[in-house]
Amino acid sequence: MIKYLIFDLDNTIYPSTALINQNIPQRMISFVAKFLDISFQDAKLLRSQRLPHYGSTLEWLSTEHNLTNYNDFLSFVHPEEEINELPQISGLRELLTSVNLPKAILTNGPKFHAERVLNFYNISDCFTNIYGIVENNLKGKPHPESYLNLLQKEKFVLEETLFFDDHPKYVSGFMNVGGFSILVDRNLEFQNYNFPKGKIKTIQSIFEIPNLLKKL
């Protein structure tokens, strides 16, 4: 019986077709280029090579390149104007309020970004709490502690919790701690991804959740 829901934020609450989804990685690469004093193209290549070894770009930079002022990174990647890159989504609030289960956000972005997005959609009150990358000591998903910390603090029971994320690596992270994950795969890109326990349940949009819950 599912009693609790955990949601990723970016590309899960809003669709991956959003402009912000293109611009966040672009801003990350621009930051890397500036921080390491290399070209944008070199930064793009280097990030693509190193990111698979880490949960996030921030974790990579702080571990390998001694980035200590993580606020520099987070505020550069998430300027106030990012709000203009979000699409309108009709019925989102109605969807979330219709699913009467405690819900929390687990994001590898900063909490201020999550608050900004949730406020934009007028859905902040639909969630019990937001766990961002700083709250997880810069070690976010897919590290086991990031999921376990949320479960413990929110008093969510692992076996009774569903986790939704658009990223196969983070979906797998929750599976690896024994949880039940749902992949939000808008374009069905990851049907052949090697998940820890074989095939995974996939939805293309969180608007499928009410039906999904009926079937579980």
Q: Which of 7, 10, 59, 130 binds Mg ion (CB under 5 A)?
A: 10
| Euclidean distance between the first and the last CA atom of the chain, given in angstroms as a whole number | 8
The candidate with the shortest Cα–Cα distance to 123, out of 91, 147, 165, is 91
38, 53 Cβ separation under 8 angstroms: no
Q: How many residues line the site for Mg ion (CB under 5 A)? A: 4
Question: Shortest gap between Cβ of 68 and Mg ion (angstroms)?
Answer: 26
Stretch that binds Mg ion, among 3-11, 44-52, 56-64, 156-164 (CB under 5 A): 3-11
163, 180 Cβ separation under 8 angstroms: yes
x-marked contacts with Mg ion along 152-181 as a string, rule CB under 5 A: --------------x---------------
Question: Shortest gap between Cβ of 106 and Mg ion (angstroms)?
Answer: 10
185 binds Mg ion (CB under 5 A): no
Instruction: For Mg ion, give the closer residue by CB, 33 or 166.
Output: 166
Residue 117 token pair:
């997005």
Instruction: For Mg ion, give the closer residue by CB, 33 or 175.
Output: 175
Residue 170 token pair:
């983070």
Helix (H, G, I), strand (E, B) or coil at 181: strand
Of residues 11-40, those binding Mg ion (CB under 5 A): 11
Separate counts of helices (H) and strands (E) for the chain: 9, 6
Instruction: For Mg ion, give the closer residue by CB, 11 or 56.
Output: 11
Task: Please state, in angstroms and rounded to a whole number, the distance separating the CA atoms of residues 146 and 136.
Answer: 6
- The contact set with Mg ion (CB under 5 A) reads 8, 10-11, 166
